[in-house]
A and B are shown apart, each in its own frame.
Chain A
């Protein structure tokens, strides 16, 4: 046992270990920002809830037990409905727990796709300049001319509500904004000496873009990604709320609020708890972004 640990300690850090070290190093820095730590705690809490949903969920998210049960009611079968039940008698606590899986599955994927597309175009526009830059900027202008929710509503109605389509719509609507940020950062970086060095040594275009420029632009992008993640979570919630989200009976915080808000006068808990859940998760990402920015401005 002890020998194993020793061997690991001596072994050169693999890519996974260095990644872990970067993450822990970042976390150690974040400890200086109380606000950032609160944000990190909230995000971590919901991430753990999502991962261990089947273990911690007291009941099934789709089982119909006792309609309109108030929080803390003990159902005839002996199940306790801690946060009450909805109009179909489903346990709200279990639905919130499973709903975290929905949002924490689609939001990171959608944010990642938007970043992937936005980074490629932003790097190209900033590095190449000229007509590529002009063309990409004009296209971005057109997409950004739409009020963002109008764009979502029109896209989702045209291509139909589904998980994949939400990812597509978020990518389409957010990539131009990300492109602008990446382009600005690239313009700043492209005249550095190490880029000139890479050019003279004959590095390929993808190498310069993704290995030389992108990693050096990561600071502002990490902050923006956290904020954007919060915003994508809101978007997924809003689409669910407007009836354009994932098809039922997938537990989804936005549609949980939408389905029950008409009964808010006599059963407020049905809409209240999912609303608190989504707010706390978004708050987590926004505080995290704030903490990271605060620390990065310090040094």
Chain B
């Protein structure tokens, strides 16, 4: 087991290393274009040469890469061009805001999706099953930016119940969190629900469920004691991998509601060609994605007794 975890961790580090190398080469192999982005488009050649010399860009790329990697590992991401502050000063607070958004989304989405998935999978082909399945297809078909518009028009413009933006400009306001969370839950729950349904439906066809039915156990006990525990193994992986999806989802939702989080920061950095901020944000995003994948793998083996006791 420990060997397995160790292998996954080493593999994760290797992936991160390759990603960082590719990212560095793409963003910084050409020192002059970095200089032009930092100094602005109307800089003279001499100024650029001076900047390159002052910032060590005249050294070969592999020396610069090793130095850059060392800096990143110690939390020094460089200076943001757009915000004119160290990247770390913008990055961490924004990441915190997104963690709140993602946390609330998960706290609502996961129980909802699991409940619906279990209800649908309990009796495959029933009316409940079909309703839940079709509903989840419909909600996952509405892109986040479209449902953001639909829900804002409904709850903000017509009903006037909720604020239409979530910039939190007058301090923290939990009301402003409702619409973004709603959009994310609406788009995301369908996938988990469908996976749970499939897993539950499979478990319900197992022989041990038939045995339980035939020995006269109440339906409640069959579901709660025998089916649920076995049906929850596969959705666990899916839920962990949804964190990866959520990192994409928050970009759209944060831009749509002007929420000051990690997603809107990535877009802002990209649109402004803020080299160091793009590098830092991408590395953080990849780190979150890869580490949740490892957690999903490890968790799956821990949960599944067939693998655990091998």
Measured CB to CB, the residues of A under 8 A from B are 35, 141-142, 145-150, 153-154, 157-158, 230, 234, 237-238, 241-243, 254, 257-258, 261, 264-265, 268, 271-272, 275-276, 278-279, 282-283, 286-287, 290
Contacts and interface: CB of A to CB of B under 8 A. Distances in A.
Contacts of A268: 153, 157-158
Contacts of A257: 145-146, 149
Contact of B252 (A145, A146, A149, A271): A149
B137 A287 contact: yes
18 contacts: A145-B15, A145-B16, A149-B251, A157-B270, A157-B271, A234-B143, A238-B143, A261-B149, A264-B157, A265-B164, A268-B153, A271-B149, A276-B146, A282-B142, A283-B137, A286-B140, A286-B141, A290-B133
Report the contact-size class of chain B (Cβ under 8 Å from the partner).
35 or more
Given A142-B15, A286-B141, A279 B251 contact: no
Interface string B144-156: 1111111011001
Contacts of B141: 230, 279, 282-283, 286-287
Given A278-B143, A283-B137, A272 B252 contact: no
Contacts of A279: 141-143, 146-147, 150
B266 interface: yes
Contact of A154 (B146, B153, B282): B282
Interface in B288-304: 288-290, 293
B278 A154 contact: yes
Most A Cβ at <10 Å: residue of B16, B146, B244: B146
B251 A254 contact: no
A220 to B, nearest CB: 15
Most A Cβ at <10 Å: residue of B138, B141, B144: B141
B164 A272 contact: no
A282 B266 CA distance: 26
Interface stretch (B18-26, B209-217, B222-230): B18-26
Contacts of B72: none
A242 B253 CA distance: 11
A5 B24 CA distance: 66
A154 B247 contact: no
B153 A264 contact: yes
A287 B266 CA distance: 33
B138 A272 contact: no
Interface string B247-266: 11101100110000000001
Contacts of A265: 156-157, 164
B134 interface: yes
Contacts of A153: 251, 266-267, 270
A275 B146 contact: yes
Nearest to B145: A241
Contact of A145 (B19, B158, B255, B281): B19
B285 interface: yes
Given A237-B143, A241-B145, A264-B157, A146 B285 contact: yes
Nearest to A156: B270
B143 A150 contact: no
Most A Cβ at <10 Å: residue of B26, B138, B153: B153
A141 B11 CA distance: 10
A238 B252 contact: yes
B150 to A, nearest CB: 6
A260 to B, nearest CB: 9
Nearest to B153: A268
B49 interface: no
A241 B148 CA distance: 12
B286 interface: yes
Contacts of B22: 142
B191 to A, nearest CB: 11
Given A264-B152, A264-B164, A268-B153, A275 B134 contact: no
Most A Cβ at <10 Å: residue of B145, B245, B252, B271: B145
B285 A150 contact: yes
Contacts of A237: 143, 145-146
Q: What 4 A-B pairs have minimum CB-CB distances, sorted nearest first?
A: A149-B248, A275-B146, A283-B141, A147-B247
Contact of B271 (A147, A158, A243, A264): A243
B138 A283 contact: yes
A34 to B, nearest CB: 10
A89 B235 CA distance: 49
A90 B7 CA distance: 59
A35 B267 CA distance: 37
A241 B252 contact: yes
Nearest to A261: B149
Given A145-B290, A150-B285, 14 more contacts: A145-B16, A145-B19, A147-B244, A149-B251, A150-B281, A154-B278, A238-B144, A242-B267, A258-B145, A264-B149, A275-B150, A279-B142, A279-B147, A286-B137
Contacts of B19: 142, 145-146
Contacts of B158: 268
Nearest to A258: B145
Given A145-B286, A254-B145, A279-B141, A150 B152 contact: no
